[in-house]
Structure 1
């Protein structure tokens, strides 16, 4: 048994008139240029960090110096040589510890 539903499978009619597209583009361009002009007249935005944020920022730059670059280089070389071994039990234990923080 066949069911005929009108409108299913038909494509909507699109306006392909070049003048319609040009008018829409011109309207979009006009609205964009007016919004740009209004933005240019606005004052500049400023941001002030709280003392807590400033101290965290200073601590963040201190942490960069705590990276042991010699150890990083050793690990890179071991990975490149295929000699880097992963302790899977230690990894699994660490993952479980992290999971418990969110439980």
Structure 2
């Protein structure tokens, strides 16, 4: 089911049932300045452990450099010294795998 980031539509939520359930549990919704109901003070969002891990991983990835400069320098030095050997069969296999995946 797709998630509407703009909020639920009238077919997804029956406003009369929502108000009844809120008034039955003793919580009366507050009106904000624009006439819409604001969240009560009891509304809390808690992230799961997986979400916390994903957030930490995302933050670490954003702090990583785009280029591994040490690897670039090693390959550049090997090329300039004539020490870099290319395995043409391995390279051709990589091209075949890439193109078969397209």
Verify same fold: TM over 0.5: no
What TM-score does the superposition give when structure 1 sets the normalisation length? 0.35
CA radius of gyration, larger in:
1
TM-score of the two chains, using structure 2 as the length reference: 0.35
> Higher helix fraction: Structure 1 or Structure 2?
1
